[in-house]
Chains A and B, each alone.
Chain A
Amino acid sequence: MDYITTIGLEVHVQLKTQSKMFCACPAEYGVQPNSNTCPTCLGLPGALPVLNRRAIEYTVLAGMMLGCETPPVSKWDRKNYFYPDMPKNYQLSQFDLPLCLGGNVPLYAHCYPKDAQKDIARPEQLIGLTRIHLEEDVAKSTHAAGGTTIDFNRAGTPLMEIVSEPDIESPEEAFAYLNSLRQILIYGELSDADMEKGQMRCDVNVSVRPQGQEELGIKIELKNMNSVSAVRRALHYEIKRQVEVLKSGGELVQSTRRWDDDLGETQQMRTKENAHDYRYFPDPDLLPVRTGEIIEKMRSRVPELPHQKASRFVADFGISDYDASVLSSDRDLAVYFEAAAKDSAAAKKIANWVINNVSALLNEHDIGINDCPVTSSKLSALVDLVESGELSNNQAKEVFSALFDAPDAEPDALARELGFEPAESGEIEAFVDEVITANPGKVAEIKAGNDKLINWLTGQVMKASKGKANARQVGDLLRSKIN
């Protein structure tokens, strides 16, 4: 019997605001433990919360990018439970009037795992969202032999929770969902959304049911996945486990399970019987927010989304769908490409350069595109030199490497410094003549109509000129001499 899998995700995202959600403390990480604290985020008696307007704006913007609706009024509620990392023993969150409702996340093809991109079950699928709300993060506990230490620097920082509908059908879709969502959040400059840094955290609800059964299976929640690939691994394990239980005639119970990435298995944490009753009620310290003005303000700040940018690149620059999606998968890379390509006649070549040569060198130096020493305008100038025949591809690559180390130099000056004078046409003609004389058989075949061999002869000329010649010129010259 076949089983259908149903998955829903609850994703928590740290917002990149300057200050915390309800106090003026800086929201920064990696500083001395408990240095960014005040009476409010330590939950001292008598301290009160004050809303961080920027965090609300960011959440509304996230909602706009994901096609959500923001109701006119949104309010704050207390979610009550005791835990040492929560200073007030209630979390300020949003219960029944969240900032965003509805919306969806498009599953981008390039966001699937590499090994699954060729076999996407539901191409261009949209995953529906239930809601997005804002809440405060908790402190960070560290358990050690001597006891537990708590760092309240993170306590009270803004956390956006994005809840999906149970629309996801496979671990690979869950993987793509998280990557697509991450890209969109980065596009909005709302979060760096790196799961391994805890900037994005994810709880997964998964159930299986036999094919033909309408009603959803028993929902099981998975926690403690610290990367997008761990989510995929945990789901593969858990789906297999649930199916095996059902196949062997067993029964599943609604429960929460913890993923152990080292052991590669999920372990039961608690069942529904001992689930929390959070006793939500409206926080009397905070007034409800009227969202009208915020919506107006943020409307003009909605950026182009990855898939919109990709389509535009195809239309504006004539690059392939594949290149466009690779470029737009990284917002900064896309910005770099567009800056280089906008005034160039060789946009396709620039796309190729950015995807291959530029990315390779960045990886080699372990830096991001924003730290690339070769500016987009210099790349553009360099590619123009290739296009005009002044430099061969190989020469341009050498110039590019040199530019990496001498970012102030100009590409043409650097090319001359490296001795890459454009080859004299007489010199090239001599090479062409040499190659024609040396390969009478091939020349005869070309005369007989096998035009492809021109490329082979061109290669010989390029070799003879040590890459100095321009391949297109050589090809033209060969053709005119042979015919």
Chain B
Amino acid sequence: MSDSAAHLSITELQRDYRSGKRTPVEALTDVIEAIEKKDPGVGAYLSLESGIALRDAENADVTLPLGGIPIAVKDLINVKGQDCSCASKFLQSAYTSTYDATVISRLRKAGAIPLGRTNMDEFAMGSSTENSGIKLARNPWDADRIPGGSSGGSAIAVANDTAIAALGSDTGGSIRQPASFCGSVGLKPTYGRVSRFGLVAFASSLDQIGPMTKTSEDAALLLSIMSGSDPLDSTSLSDAVPDYLNELNGEIKGLRIGLPVEYFTHGIDPGVRQCVEDAVSHLEKLGAEVIEVSLPHTEYAIATYYIIATAEASANLARFDGVRYGNRAPDPNDIIDHYRRTRAAGFGDEVKRRIILGTYVLSSGYNDAYYVRAQKVRTLIRQDFTAAFEQADVLVSPTAPTPAFKIGEKSGDPLQMYLADIFTIAANLAGICGASTPCGLVESDSGTQLPVGLQVLGPPLGEGTVLKVTDAFEKTTNWHRRPC
């Protein structure tokens, strides 16, 4: 077990492939064994494609940038021939992808192997993966706690060494927050950096696919391959894609780190606060210059987010009607009855709550007061960041105000749950990039150790700088490789 490939990062595994120490089939077999052994306790995976993956591994070309590297895929990214359920009962065993998402075709071209599908909050709506319509997920550090969400399964798999790397998606923190709760690295790219074609949409103006990895090096490597303009996604950016990995030189001397004052006044858990303050001091020791910045419209971020995201979601999820795919309620009286019963049975409570909220805020007579106004506030939030990035190269904060909470602790109180995303949501509204990397452990009241994430936000297309900071931090602290 100690020699299992499952605990390796992408770059480590590549080294082994190239030195001839392991073959892709051996490595993949290790990962599958680790999943079989460890996943039943945590529920990171919804399904595995071992057969196809092993065949791909046999033919892998390890000279390719990601040759023979298995990747776990969040269950809302289309992989041709595989079920894509978005952890929803509506799609479970009732929709098989007929096409590859652009990120999947790019990763395949680079030699990567899609291995299996990871658990999540249904349609990415949630912060704990408790909204999975298929399977309960548990935090690998403390089985009584949630892994975060919505990309909970991907975060667990990476932290639990049942994946080399994974893909997540981030609409309001869905990559960064579970990465923080599980002790993995997660990056949300700038809006438009990575094509959304093939990502099942939750909120189209906020969604981004991003890497969830063991190191920032791996995130950089994956990002270089996933990024770039896509003729199938009109919102993808055409800016040239740097070799992010090559730019990681550990050098952050003189870099200006901004601490948003508004982010340090909210009810942050004292242990989390301590970890983040220590991390900031550490970055200062590495030569960074720390200043305070202000994001004055922070207090409106959550309300703004829940108007825009739910409005978009109410339309995005309308296609799930059981006419062309999905599970249908039997024997409808008429088409309206069909819609009502199919959607009532297919969607979970949180999805219904958001569709109703989104439908309401777009309704005639309320549209101006909610949706139109929220768009205006969104502009103000974006301007906050533009101003802050004139003073600082990156912004640093806790990724979440608390460590992972208990299963069921907040599921009865949606507003408390929404607050778990308070530090991550604004980045999606502003369209900027950000990462979370482990920066410490706190002891829970039940005596378990729980990871804490450090969030580093960068300006649009500032992924290189963000990764430079998280990479420099990782290489001098090693919080990111603590076994759970």
Q: Which residues of A contact B (CB under 8 A)?
A: 39, 42-51, 78, 80, 82, 84, 87-90, 150, 277, 279-281, 284-287
* CB-based closest 10 A-B pairs: A89-B318, A284-B205, A279-B362, A284-B204, A45-B200, A46-B198, A43-B319, A46-B200, A88-B319, A277-B364
User: What is the CA–CA distance of A281 and B97 in the complex, to the nearest angstrom?
Assistant: 28
- Encoded as 1 (CB less than 8 Å from any A CB) or 0, chain B from 221 to 244 comes to 000000000011111000000000
- The verdict on A48 contacting B101 (CB below 8 Å), with A279-B363, A279-B364 known, is no
Q: Does A39 lie within 8 Å of B98, measured CB to CB?
A: yes
Q: Does A87 lie within 8 Å of B324, measured CB to CB?
A: yes
CB-based nearest B residue for A45: B200
B299 to chain A, nearest CB (A): 24
Q: Which residues of A contact B77 (CB under 8 A)?
A: 46
A-B contact pairs, 17 of them (CB 8 A): A42-B324, A43-B324, A44-B324, A44-B325, A45-B200, A46-B76, A50-B231, A78-B315, A82-B318, A87-B324, A88-B315, A90-B318, A279-B363, A279-B367, A281-B315, A281-B367, A284-B312
Does B99 count as interface, using CB distance less than 8 angstroms?
yes
A366 to chain B, nearest CB (A): 41
Does B112 count as interface, using CB distance less than 8 angstroms?
no
- Encoded as 1 (CB less than 8 Å from any A CB) or 0, chain B from 306 to 347 comes to 000001101100111101110000000001000100000000
- The verdict on A82 contacting B234 (CB below 8 Å), with A45-B78, A281-B362, A284-B205 known, is no
CB-based nearest B residue for A50: B234
Q: Which residues of B contact A51 (CB under 8 A)?
A: 234
Q: Does A285 lie within 8 Å of B95, measured CB to CB?
A: no
B201 to chain A, nearest CB (A): 7
Q: What is the count of residue pairs linking A and B with beta-carbon distances less than 8 angstroms? A: 98
Does B117 count as interface, using CB distance less than 8 angstroms?
no
Q: Which residues of B contact A285 (CB under 8 A)?
A: 201, 204, 233-235
Q: Which residues of A contact B315 (CB under 8 A)?
A: 78, 80, 88-90, 279, 281
Q: Which residues of A contact B321 (CB under 8 A)?
A: 82, 84, 89
User: What is the CA–CA distance of A175 and B58 in the complex, to the nearest angstrom?
Assistant: 70
Query: Which residues of B349-365 are within 8 A (CB) of A?
Result: 359, 362-364
Apart from the given pairs A89-B319, A90-B315, A280-B362, 16 other A-B contacts in the complex at a CB distance below 8 Å = A43-B319, A44-B325, A45-B86, A45-B320, A46-B84, A46-B101, A48-B233, A50-B232, A50-B233, A50-B234, A82-B321, A89-B318, A279-B314, A284-B203, A284-B235, A284-B312
- The verdict on A46 contacting B78 (CB below 8 Å), with A39-B99, A279-B367, A284-B312 known, is yes
Q: Does A277 lie within 8 Å of B363, measured CB to CB?
A: yes
- Encoded as 1 (CB less than 8 Å from any A CB) or 0, chain B from 61 to 105 comes to 000000000000000111000001010000100010111010000
A198 to chain B, nearest CB (A): 22
User: What is the CA–CA distance of A88 and B312 in the complex, to the nearest angstrom?
Assistant: 13
Does B145 count as interface, using CB distance less than 8 angstroms?
no
- The verdict on A84 contacting B362 (CB below 8 Å), with A45-B319, A48-B197, A49-B234 known, is no
Q: Which residues of A contact B203 (CB under 8 A)?
A: 284
A93 to chain B, nearest CB (A): 12
Q: How many residues of B contact A (CB 8 A)?
A: 44
User: What is the CA–CA distance of A277 and B196 in the complex, to the nearest angstrom?
Assistant: 29
Q: Does B318 lie within 8 Å of A47, measured CB to CB?
A: no
B48 to chain A, nearest CB (A): 21
Does B371 count as interface, using CB distance less than 8 angstroms?
yes
Q: Which residues of B contact A80 (CB under 8 A)?
A: 314-315, 318, 362
Q: Does B359 lie within 8 Å of A279, measured CB to CB?
A: yes
Q: Does A46 lie within 8 Å of B201, measured CB to CB?
A: yes
Q: Which residues of B contact A88 (CB under 8 A)?
A: 315, 318-319
Does B187 count as interface, using CB distance less than 8 angstroms?
no
Q: Does B235 lie within 8 Å of A287, measured CB to CB?
A: yes
Main SS at interface, chain A: loop
User: What is the CA–CA distance of A157 and B479 in the complex, to the nearest angstrom?
Assistant: 54
Q: Does B99 lie within 8 Å of A48, measured CB to CB?
A: no
User: What is the CA–CA distance of A89 and B320 in the complex, to the nearest angstrom?
Assistant: 9
Q: Which residues of A contact B76 (CB under 8 A)?
A: 45-46
- Contacting B98 at CB < 8 Å: which of A44, A279, A287? A44
Query: Which residues of B2-55 are within 8 A (CB) of A?
Result: none
Q: Does B231 lie within 8 Å of A84, measured CB to CB?
A: no
User: What is the CA–CA distance of A89 and B197 in the complex, to the nearest angstrom?
Assistant: 19
- The verdict on A45 contacting B234 (CB below 8 Å), with A89-B319, A279-B359, A284-B205 known, is no
Q: Does A46 lie within 8 Å of B98, measured CB to CB?
A: no
- Contacting A46 at CB < 8 Å: which of B199, B311, B324, B325? B199
Q: Does B311 lie within 8 Å of A281, measured CB to CB?
A: yes
Q: Which residues of A contact B320 (CB under 8 A)?
A: 45
User: What is the CA–CA distance of A78 and B78 in the complex, to the nearest angstrom?
Assistant: 23
Question: By CB atoms of chain A within 10 A, which of B199, B231, B311, B324 has the most?
Answer: B324
CB-based nearest B residue for A23: B232
Q: Which residues of B contact A47 (CB under 8 A)?
A: 99, 197-198
User: What is the CA–CA distance of A284 and B320 in the complex, to the nearest angstrom?
Assistant: 19
- The verdict on A286 contacting B234 (CB below 8 Å), with A44-B325, A48-B197, A277-B364 known, is yes
A150 to chain B, nearest CB (A): 7
User: What is the CA–CA distance of A434 and B358 in the complex, to the nearest angstrom?
Assistant: 98
Question: By CB atoms of chain B within 10 A, which of A42, A46, A47, A49 has the most?
Answer: A46
CB-based nearest A residue for B206: A284
Q: Which residues of B contact A89 (CB under 8 A)?
A: 315, 318-319, 321
B366 to chain A, nearest CB (A): 10
Q: Does A46 lie within 8 Å of B197, measured CB to CB?
A: yes
User: What is the CA–CA distance of A90 and B355 in the complex, to the nearest angstrom?
Assistant: 14
User: What is the CA–CA distance of A88 and B99 in the complex, to the nearest angstrom?
Assistant: 18
Q: Which residues of A contact B319 (CB under 8 A)?
A: 43, 45, 87-89
- Contacting A150 at CB < 8 Å: which of B95, B232, B323, B339? B323
User: What is the CA–CA distance of A281 and B84 in the complex, to the nearest angstrom?
Assistant: 28
User: What is the CA–CA distance of A166 and B397 in the complex, to the nearest angstrom?
Assistant: 59
- Contacting B335 at CB < 8 Å: which of A39, A45, A50, A84? A84
User: What is the CA–CA distance of A279 and B316 in the complex, to the nearest angstrom?
Assistant: 13
A146 to chain B, nearest CB (A): 15
- Encoded as 1 (CB less than 8 Å from any A CB) or 0, chain B from 108 to 125 comes to 000000000000000000
Question: By CB atoms of chain B within 10 A, which of A49, A89, A90, A281 has the most?
Answer: A281
Q: Does B196 lie within 8 Å of A45, measured CB to CB?
A: no
- The verdict on A281 contacting B371 (CB below 8 Å), with A44-B98, A45-B84, A80-B318 known, is yes
CB-based nearest A residue for B336: A82
Q: Which residues of A contact B95 (CB under 8 A)?
A: 45
User: What is the CA–CA distance of A45 and B315 in the complex, to the nearest angstrom?
Assistant: 12
Q: Does B232 lie within 8 Å of A48, measured CB to CB?
A: yes
Q: Which residues of B contact A78 (CB under 8 A)?
A: 315
User: What is the CA–CA distance of A304 and B367 in the complex, to the nearest angstrom?
Assistant: 44
